[in-house]
Amino acid sequence: MVVWKYPVHFLAYGFGTGLVPVAPGTAGALVGVALFRAMAQLRPAYYEAITAILGVAGIFICQQTANDLGLADPGAIVWDEIVGYLVAMYRLPAAWGWVVFGFVVYRLFDVWKPYPIGIIEEGFGVGTSIMADDIVAGIYTWCVLQLVRWGRKR
């Protein structure tokens, strides 16, 4: 099976989570939760660097896998959800309430695709498009979470 033929496919499918039969994006985003919990105590510069590296690598990872499968954006590719969730949770508390709230808001934006996410999804090459819409969903989520956090401090 081509999914397991190359290590890049294993990464694209979120270490296999993208192959679950129902809601693979949600399963893949759970990998993002695990990575966030592991990275939450890092200095911001390290968190930023790791997230940026994973994002840039994701362009290649997702494009290669999509090309090998002959599909534009296979639903089982979830590397983009992993990175999008990391973007969403940047400099937020690692407490479970924030982790879960961020997860729910992120998945809503990722599925809903409010403007301009839908346009971004179609505006680039395969790998960049797969990654870009989830990164923007992560940015939207980050904004919502920061507003909630700010409101709680007042």
Q: Would you state the pLDDT for residue 76?
A: 95
pLDDT tens by residue, the chain, 154 residues? 556 678 999 999 999 999 999 999 999 999 999 999 999 999 999 999 999 999 999 999 999 999 998 998 899 999 999 999 999 999 999 999 999 999 999 999 999 999 888 888 777 889 999 999 999 999 999 999 999 999 988 7
Residue ranges per structural domain of the chain = 2-153
pTM, 2 dp: 0.95
Separation CA 127–CA 23 (nearest Å): 21
Half-sphere exposure of 67 (CA within 13 A, CB side): 12
